[in-house]
Each structure stands twice: as C-alpha cells, then as structure tokens.
Amino acid sequence: MATITLKSNAIHTNGELPAVGSTAPDFHLVDKDLNDVRLGDFKGKKKLLNIVPSLDTSVCATSARKFNEYIKGRSDLVMLTISADLPFAQGRFCQSEGLSNVVTLSMMRSRNFAKDYGVLIQDGPLAGITARAIVVLDEQDRVVYTELVPEIAQEPNYDKALAAL
C-alpha cells in the first residue's frame, strides 16, 4: 500500500507500482471502439502508460496534451492514457483537444489493471479509480521507469518520464 495525498489529505492505493526491471503485468482494457486491448497488442514498441484518475480534470488533460506533443511523429513508441473514464468520454476529449497520438484505454470492464499496477485508490472521495502515475516500458515490456505522483492534483515529472524513453 502506498500513501498519496488529495489536496493534502492522505489517501491510499492498494499496492505499489511494478518494480523497475520487472516485466509489466499484462492488462485487459477497452479502447475507444469498445475493443478489448492487452499489453501484447503493443509488442515491439516502447510504451508510456500515463495513468490518470479522469481526463475530465485539468491536470489529467494537461498530461495527455504534453505527452501527445512529445510522441508526435514517433513510430517506435506508444502513449497509453489509462483512466476509469468511459471510452466515449475519452474519445470526445481527444477529439475536442485534437489529440491524435494518444491511445486512450478505459477500465470500464474491470479494475484489475489498477489492482495489478498498485494504483487503485482504496479510500477517500476518489476510492475506486486510479492514482496518478507514470510507467515506462521498453520494447520487451520491462519496466524502466515509474512515478507515483505524491499529490494527485500535481503533474508528473515529464522530464524524467521522457528521458526514460
């Protein structure tokens, strides 16, 4: 269990992020077209998992926009923004923001992703959705960088995440 804060109030996750050097847990998420998506669907590419509580918040939206800009024109990596939002809301967000380089994935069918990655919030007003975190994977799905953002209302460390890619 990890402790983070929401506006300076302590809240807890169900576990810890995957360890650097470990193989990332597989996942089962849903894309904008309601297709089931697994980690293996991105085989051979570097992956940045931008895990956010909801794209309907300014900090989550900002991180998606910043990472979208970074990966523009990069075919060697994929940026996955993962949230509890429904795929329809994720699609509207990307369309309204003009984000074409982001792959949004929803936990609508299962919270196992959040549990397996140790980011499921256990208590407080956001219980049941994810903490804000970054996980960077290499082409073989090994974890090369993680960040559990200590205050949910803060942005992640973009420079460190991007350097890991």
| Pair 114, 133: CB distance under 8 Å | no
- Given pLDDT bands bounded at 50, 70 and 90, which one contains residue 165? confident
Our answer to whether residue 94 is catalytic in this structure is: no
What pLDDT sits at residue 150?
A: 95
Tell me the pairing of strands 133-137 and 77-83: unpaired
d(C-alpha 125, C-alpha 91), whole Å: 25
State the pTM of this model: 0.93
What pLDDT sits at residue 55?
A: 83
Q: Residue 117, exposed/middle/buried by CB under 10 A (0-12, 13-18, 19+)?
A: buried
What pLDDT sits at residue 2?
A: 94
Contacts of 75 (CB under 8 A, 6+ apart): none
pLDDT of 21 > 90? The answer is: yes
pLDDT tens digit sequence for 117-153 = 999 999 999 999 999 999 999 999 999 999 999 999 9
Region of 38 (left: φ > 0; alpha: ψ -120 to 50; beta: rest) is: beta
pLDDT tens digit sequence for 2-16 = 999 999 999 999 999
What pLDDT sits at residue 58?
A: 79
Unique residue bearing structure tokens 């799905």 = 141
| Percent of the chain at pLDDT exceeding 70 | 100
pLDDT tens digit sequence for 89-127 = 998 888 888 888 889 999 999 999 999 999 999 999 999
Which position among 48, 60, 131, 134 bears the catalytic label?
60
SS3 track for the chain = CCEEEECCEEEEECCCCCCCCCECCCCEEECCCCCEEEHHHHCCCEEEEEECCCCCCHHHHHHHHHHHHHHCCCCCEEEEEEECCCHHHHHHHHHHHCCCCEEEEECCCCCHHHHHCCCEECCCCCCCCECCEEEEECCCCEEEEEEECCECCCCCCHHHHHHHC
- Given pLDDT bands bounded at 50, 70 and 90, which one contains residue 45? very high
